[in-house]
Amino acid sequence: MGTLTIAPGQLDDAALAAYAKAFDGRRDTTGGLGDMAECLSSAQLFDVRLEGQIVARYALQQVERAKGVEVFIVGAAGSLPGVDLVETVTPYIAQQCAQADRLTINTRRRGLVKKLLSQGWTLDSYVVRKKL
């Protein structure tokens, strides 16, 4: 595999199509109250390139809190046959966000949680909702 590079992304048709896969109903962490457009409108977008081709995309949203800065990975999409992009790209994201106090992902994907825990992430909370 060649070298991966990270570059600012744009919300063009190709990006919208890629992110749509990450925002399907099975992966929604808002309980149905949020949507992709809202989430991406306030995020910084990035493209992961391999030899000039976009192989993944991710969106970061920075939140200033009373005791520090938290950066959320609010969307991620992509694939590269034979490469675990979670294992490969999250260290780049962590380095990119090194000035923040926390890097956070909300997910419904148990497999993603398992991968992240093996990379030194911690499980900090559960979210329980009741539809009214």
**Amino acid residing at 52:** G
* Tokens found for residue 76: 């991620």
Q: Do 76 and 22 contact (CB within 8 A), yes or no?
A: yes
Give me the numbers of helices (H) and strands (E) for the chain, helices first please: 4, 5
What are the tens digits of pLDDT across the range 39-58? 898 999 999 999 989 999 99
Q: Which residue has the higher pLDDT, 24 or 125?
A: 125
User: Which CATH code of 3.40.630.30, 3.40.50.720, 1.10.10.10, 1.10.340.30 fits the domain covering 4-118?
Assistant: 3.40.630.30
pTM, 2 dp: 0.90
